[in-house]
Amino acid sequence: MNRLIKTILLLSICFHFAQGQEERPIFTQDQLLWYIENYHPIAQQGKLLIQQGESSVRAARGGFDPKLFANFDQKQFEDKEYYSILNSGLKIPTWYGLEFKTGFDQNSGVYLNPENKVPNGGLWYGGVSVSLGQGLFIDKRRAALQKANVFASSTVAEQKALMNELYFDAIKQYWKWVQAYNEYRVYEESVSLAVTRFEAVKNSHLLGDKPAIDTLEAKIQVQNRELGRNEYQLAYQNATLELSNYLWFENNTPLEITDELRPPLFDEIELSNTTSFDTLQAYVNAVPNAHPDMQIYQFKLSSLEIERKLKAEKIKPKLNLNYNFLSEPVGDNFLNNVSNQNYKWGIEFSLPIFLREQRGNLQLAKYKIENTAFGQRQKQLEIENKVLSYFNEHVALRKQVDIYRDAVSNYSSLLEGERIKFNIGESSLFLVNSRESSLIEARLKAIALVSKYNISSAGIDYASGRLYK
């Protein structure tokens, strides 16, 4: 897809148009984030994370699926059937550690082991297996499902953390793009003013009103500002390319920002309200539960706690009880001989004498939990301090923005007065250029501060984990 088509795709979705100074559509921050959420490859990876979590739960639930089984073993030698053993049935595991089982045995043969002998019509059985010791409260199957559920929940937090980071990187680049564009416009206007003044001074010199040295000074001023304009133009072009990295469309199609779109002008930028201290405090208080990084730690601790319970269960002795009722089928009635006198049962018991492996594994599981808890507390402190840092920067920058906006107005008035004095011969070209340079510097500073202010405003939401909702 060529550049023109990609630009048309981008323009077709833009809906906000500038009013006043330029008719080109403004590319807004909200539009940028819309593209990222719907088409950016990292955003698609985040969605895959959630799907992986759902698949892990589905796989773990498979441990509780009913299972059909069948075993057949036969030996034939010298025209004799030594034995033919068939065992088939159905196992149904449950969440509570019980396993129900039903099946059918059909065995025959000259040399069949006596314990395998069954009636000629076969033997039906049905019963239950239960763990009364190790595995009564948790086993590998239940632990796997619990951990899968925790993992599925953690993938949502991981996706949120991923998008929170991506959004903030994109917002920072967006405001660098806005800053570069407005800085370039300042120098573009300054070049236009310098060229106009140079022509006026040159004409005045030809009429004998200005000395030749003034034309030279005016020409040098034009050249210096043209150099500055070229530098800012290059910065704007590179910032545009950097921002284009975040723009994608359907079928993994990269988009490009061309001259058909523009950032908002300085006077069009609306500053967000300053975050109040009460709001900040609410954000900080919510960090332990609301921040995706903290949620990931909580899910990690939950998974480790499941592992610890499983290790603790290994300390218990194995005590498994099996019971099956037996019935000889007669015709279609396989429950013909159901009786409390026809049964098969067994018990299994085992316990390591020293339990060194089990106790060692349990202690290791506890150490992992403690280590993760230490990391969680450190991460919480870092997040809270980062939120406070962005808040302090946010408040300070708002004050600086107000000061410099007022300063730009004052520099403009000072320059206008100096121009009037110059036109009536009471000032010099040097002073006019000096006043104009001061105004340019103030405007550039104000633009940079507005960009930093908007980044710091997003930074509070980013640090508190609220940027991606």
pLDDT in tens, 409-440: 999 998 889 888 878 878 787 888 888 889 99
Task: Check pLDDT > 70 for residue 460.
Answer: yes
Residue 42 has pLDDT above 80, yes or no: yes
| Residue 324: strand pairing partners | 127, 344
Residue 460: Cβ-neighbour burial (10 angstroms; 0-12, 13-18, 19+): buried
Residue 442, pLDDT > 50, answer yes
Per-residue pLDDT, 24: 81
Q: How is residue 339 written in tokens?
A: 């009786």
* pLDDT tens-digit map of 104-140: 999 998 889 888 888 888 888 899 999 998 988 999 9
Residue 393: alpha-carbon gap to chain centroid: 25
Q: What is the pLDDT of residues 221-243, one digit of tens each?
A: 889 989 999 999 999 999 999 99
- Please report, to the nearest 10 degrees, the dihedral formed by the alpha carbons of residues 184, 187, 192, 198 taken in order: -160
The pLDDT score that the predictor gives to residue 398 is: 93
CA 144, CA 321: separation in Å to the nearest integer? Answer: 23
Tell me: pLDDT of 14 over 60. Answer: no
pLDDT tier for residue 273 given thresholds of 50, 70 and 90:
confident
Q: What domains does the chain contain, in order, with CATH numbers? A: 3-39+149-305+367-463 (1.20.1600.10), 61-94+98-134+321-354 (no CATH)
CB 161 within 8 A of CB 463: no
> What confidence score (pLDDT) does residue 212 get?
78
Residues in a beta bridge with 87: 71, 105
Q: Mean pLDDT of all residues in the chain?
A: 88
Which residues, other chains included, contact 183 with Cβ-Cβ below 8 Å and sequence gap of 6+?
A: 232, 235, 236, 444, 447, 448
Q: Which of residues 353 and 215 earns the better pLDDT score?
A: 353
DSSP three-state, residue 107: strand
% of the chain residues with pLDDT over 90 = 64
- Quick: pLDDT tens for 186-210: 999 989 888 888 887 788 777 777 7
Higher-scoring residue by pLDDT: 272, 466: 466
CA–CA separation, 458 and 168 (whole Å): 7
**What digits encode the pLDDT tens for the residues 361-382?**
999 999 999 999 999 999 999 9
- Per-residue pLDDT, 86: 94
What is the per-residue pLDDT for 335?
58
Q: What is the DSSP string of 194-223?
A: HHHHHHHHHHHHHTTSS-HHHHHHHHHHHH
Residue 17 has what pLDDT?
31
**What span, in angstroms and rounded, lies between the C-alpha atoms of 4 and 459?**
35
Share of the chain above pLDDT 70, in %: 93
pLDDT band at 13 (very low <50, low <70, confident <90, very high): very low
If 0-12 CB within 10 Å is exposed, 13-18 middle and 19+ buried, where does residue 285 land? exposed
Closest of 428, 441, 445 to residue 197, by C-alpha: 428
- Reported as a pLDDT band with limits 50, 70 and 90, residue 2 is very low
For the chain, counts of helices (H) and of strands (E): 9, 8
pLDDT at 75 over 80: yes
Instruction: Give the Cα separation of 444 and 139 in Å (integer).
Output: 66
Query: In whole angstroms, what is the distance from residue 415 CA to residue 429 CA?
Result: 12
CB atoms within 10 A of CB 278: 8
155 band by pLDDT with thresholds 50, 70 and 90 = very high
The count of other CB atoms within 10 Å of the CB of residue 341 is: 8
Pull the structure tokens for residue 264.
């908002």
Task: Compute the distance between CA of residue 376 and CA of residue 304 in angstroms, rounded to an integer.
Answer: 13
Task: Give me the residue label for tokens 């284009």.
Answer: 244
Number of Cβ within a 10 Å radius of residue 76: 11
Mean pLDDT across 23-52? 92
Q: pLDDT-derived band of residue 386, with 50, 70 and 90 as boundaries?
A: very high
Tokens of 341: 């006198």
Residue 19 scores a pLDDT above 70: no
pLDDT in the model for residue 12:
38
Residues 23 and 14: beta-carbon distance below 8 Å: no
Residue-wise over 193-223: b if at least 16 C-beta within 10 A, else e? bbbebbeebbeebeeeebeeebbebbeebbe
Q: What's the one-letter identity of residue 99?
A: E
Range with the poorest average pLDDT among 3-12, 26-35, 153-162? 3-12
